[in-house]
A and B are shown apart, each in its own frame.
Chain A
Amino acid sequence: MSVLVYTESEEGKFKKAALEVASYAREVASKDGGSVTAVTFNAEDTSELGNYGVDKILNIKSDKLSKFNAEAYADALKQAAEKEGSKIVVLSQSANSKYLAPLLAVQLNAGYAPNVVALPESTEPFTVKRSVFTNKAFNLLQINTDVKIVGVSQNAFGLKENQADATVEEFSPNLSEEDFSVNVDSVDKATDKVTIADAEIIVSGGRGLKGPENWGMIEEMAEILGAATACSKPVSDMGWRPHSEHVGQTGKPVASNLYIAVGISGAIQHLAGVNAAKTKVVINNDPEAPFFKAADYGVVGDAFEIVPKLNEKLKEFKAKNA
């Protein structure tokens, strides 16, 4: 059986999520001695994929595809899946993958399981565990179609090294005008900042910080730790921080390794959004804040005293452990 995996790159470099879905695809394929084919778009150096168990790479080089376009990318993936006879397509849950997955599902007449958090529990019938209700619960989903699409949640599986001799084949899908009927006019992306989706560590601030002028110490901590910054819903609603930083049920879910919440009391919608983060630290002056019940580590006290002190200590720690 062939498993197809969509390995996303940015400016030619693979994203961590690409290596994670390749690791996942390898384990799925190995259940019955199958092979893994990765599809790459304008990647500069594909050799890294061989470290994560990819047997074959369909390398698409195309100026037309230099900017992500959901319909065109979905069409290219469909043609790759048909060429390889793939019964399972694995992709990440990045904004781009979530955009194209339902288009691909209709084209391949495939059932789609999003937000998958573990390897399939069985392959006949095909069942996978996925998160639902914004991480407040899990569901075992059975896919009944011949072709299946599995969307693996960020950081749910991790990276697994697995040496393989990956062969590289140039691949030129047949794309029509219609594939580009949604035109991408411009992309505006801060390249010097860690995004919430890709972050290992997230430093997040809430109403307890009293105003947007006090975010300097949050940004400083993020910089020391190489982290992304985030915020609670009231903070984004009041316009202290951009909506794109809002973490929670109606904002972004996070699945980082570490989530540090400063001055966030922990409304149920926020806690749902951070449930999948592995380690949670809470800094809050109210010992009754509900977030303490959901956290691994907590410091009760004034954030305006604690955070600057902690930043100094983290700097020392980083200097020693660099």
Chain B
Amino acid sequence: MKILVCISHVPDTTSKINFTDGDSKFDTAGVQFVINPNDEFGLTRAMWFKEKQGATVDVVNVGGTETEPTLRKALAIGADSAIRVDATPTDGFFVAKQLAKVAKEGNYDLIIAGRESIDYNGGMVPGMLAALMDANFINTCISLEVEGDTAKAIREIDGGKETLTAKLPLVIGGQKGLVEEKDLKIPNMRGIMQARKKPLNVVAAEDASAQTEAKKFEKPAPKGEVKLVDPDNLDELIDLLHNEAKAI
């Protein structure tokens, strides 16, 4: 089985979010970038398929040279090779187009992406990728097994879960649950040394135009002061929630 894991290069979850160039761009100054957490669960699951079922695992990112350390980290975790599509990711559709080309040309059986990136939260790349390459698609996937050419997956739905079966090729929108947080792979010294020698191929972007443009960014209005209620006067809290906030 050939697996492709799509890696999004995103600001660490603790990052302060600021904008620059007249609020038109995310300010990367002082920001640590990491593998998108939803992709990391999928990457670790892919490593399981590699160890238990002899799968090969490649990782791919659409981005500039600044994303290479993130791809190297994925190689250090255990991916066999990396592909960087050399382009500025303009919108989800553009990224999906690039990934579809890589996935088709590489004849991958299973493509694992995160259900969404934690920066722009679009949640559209995995589905668009599946539609563009005419593959099956399962989103918000929390469990995945593959036998032969058939995958069995569990998907999280609002208030429960669903069990699904689909033939490969299949695109997965993954999230926590694919593996547990405690089972996430952390690169060790040997992995980091090996990653330096693994191939990281840079490929040219396919001609595609974005469908959307991100214009101005803004931050939420600052919050007012918290109103503290004495623990011995909880009637006041109920009164505030009922009459002021109209929440109960």
- Chain B residues with CB under 8 Å of A272's CB are 13
Q: A250-B37, A292-B226 are in contact. Are A137 and B245 (CB under 8 A)?
A: no
Q: A281-B237, A313-B238 are in contact. Are A296 and B226 (CB under 8 A)?
A: yes
Please give me the residue from chain A that is nearest to B240 by CB atom. A297
Q: Are A275 and B220 in contact (CB under 8 A)?
A: yes
Q: Are A249 and B118 in contact (CB under 8 A)?
A: yes
B186: CB under 8 A from chain A? no
For residues 103 through 148 of chain B, which have their beta carbon under 8 Å from a beta carbon of chain A? 118-128, 130-132, 136-140, 142
B160: CB under 8 A from chain A? yes
Please give me the residue from chain A that is nearest to B114 by CB atom. A250
Please give me the residue from chain B that is nearest to A297 by CB atom. B227
A110: CB under 8 A from chain B? yes
Q: A112-B92, A197-B158 are in contact. Are A297 and B226 (CB under 8 A)?
A: yes
Q: Give the docked Cα–Cα distance between A300 and B139 (Å).
A: 41
Q: Are B247 and A141 in contact (CB under 8 A)?
A: no
| Number of A interface residues in the complex (CB < 8 A) | 90
| Number of B interface residues in the complex (CB < 8 A) | 79
A-B CB pair tally, cutoff 8 Å: 254
CB distance from A148 to the nearest CB of B (A): 9
Q: Kindly supply a per-residue 1/0 record for chain A positions 285-322, scoring 1 wherever the CB is within 8 Å of any chain B CB and 0 otherwise.
A: 00000001111111111100110011001100100010
Q: Give the docked Cα–Cα distance between A188 and B165 (Å).
A: 15
Q: A127-B215, A186-B163 are in contact. Are A295 and B14 (CB under 8 A)?
A: no
- Chain A residues with CB under 8 Å of B157's CB are 68, 95-96, 187, 189
CB distance from A269 to the nearest CB of B (A): 5
A contacts, CB < 8 Å to B: 68, 70-71, 94-96, 98-103, 105-107, 110-115, 127, 131-145, 181-190, 193, 195-198, 201, 225, 237, 243-244, 246, 249-251, 257-258, 268-269, 272, 275, 278-279, 281-282, 292-302, 305-306, 309-310, 313-314, 317, 321
B contacts, CB < 8 Å to A: 11, 13-14, 17, 19, 37-38, 91-93, 96, 118-128, 130-132, 136-140, 142, 156-167, 173, 175-177, 180-182, 210-220, 223-224, 226-231, 234-235, 237-238, 240-242, 245, 247-248
